[in-house]
């Protein structure tokens, strides 16, 4: 709950802070899902990725808010990611698992780079 308290102090409204965090994370995961699907399948519709991204983001926000086990959250998010990708793109289990693996790797790499850029920019002298 410390993160929620810090967000409340910074913005004044915890609901707005949590909703903004969820929306940005869902958009980020939708972008990385689209990158992963394009990498594996070629030309795919963007709207399918927008259906994939919010589910893992919601799981992450809920598990973080209530300080539940993060490994359980990761497993659950990957499971739902697999289910949505299999359903939306209509591929085999093996190919869907491959797309989920690429989605995970792209999310970690792009997230690390973006977070590093934000830290560098915020720590620059004025």
The gap between the terminal CA atoms of the chain, to the nearest Å, is: 32
pLDDT below 70 — which residues of the chain? 1-12
Residues 6+ apart with CB under 8 A from 62: 68
Q: Please tell me the predicted confidence (pLDDT) of residue 65.
A: 87
Give the total number of structural domains in the chain.
Answer: 1
Q: Please tell me the predicted confidence (pLDDT) of residue 22.
A: 93
Q: Please tell me the predicted confidence (pLDDT) of residue 19.
A: 87
Full domain range(s) for residue 36: 2-122
**For residues 2 and 88, what is the distance between their CA atoms, to the nearest angstrom?**
37
**pLDDT tens-digit readout, 37-49:** 999 999 999 999 9
Q: Please tell me the predicted confidence (pLDDT) of residue 17.
A: 81
Q: Please tell me the predicted confidence (pLDDT) of residue 91.
A: 92
Q: Please tell me the predicted confidence (pLDDT) of residue 109.
A: 97
Q: Please tell me the predicted confidence (pLDDT) of residue 13.
A: 72
Whether the CB-CB separation of 18 and 7 falls below 8 Å is answered with: yes
**For residues 25 and 105, what is the distance between their CA atoms, to the nearest angstrom?**
16
Report the 10 Å Cβ neighbour count for 41: 14
Whether the CB-CB separation of 37 and 46 falls below 8 Å is answered with: no
Residues 6+ apart with CB under 8 A from 50: 30
């Amino acid at each position: 709950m410390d993160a929620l308290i810090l967000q409340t102090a910074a913005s004044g409204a915890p609901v707005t802070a949590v909703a903004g965090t969820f929306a940005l994370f869902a958009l980020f995961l939708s972008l990385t899902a689209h990158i992963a699907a394009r990498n594996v399948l070629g030309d795919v519709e963007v709207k399918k990725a927008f259906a994939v991204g919010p589910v893992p983001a919601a799981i992450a926000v809920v598990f973080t808010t209530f300080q539940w086990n993060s490994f359980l959250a990761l497993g659950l998010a990957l499971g739902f990611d697999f289910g949505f990708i299999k359903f939306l793109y209509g591929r085999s289990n093996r190919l869907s698992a491959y797309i989920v693996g690429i989605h995970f790797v792209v999310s970690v790499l792009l997230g690390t780079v973006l977070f590093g850029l934000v830290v560098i920019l915020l720590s620059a002298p004025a």
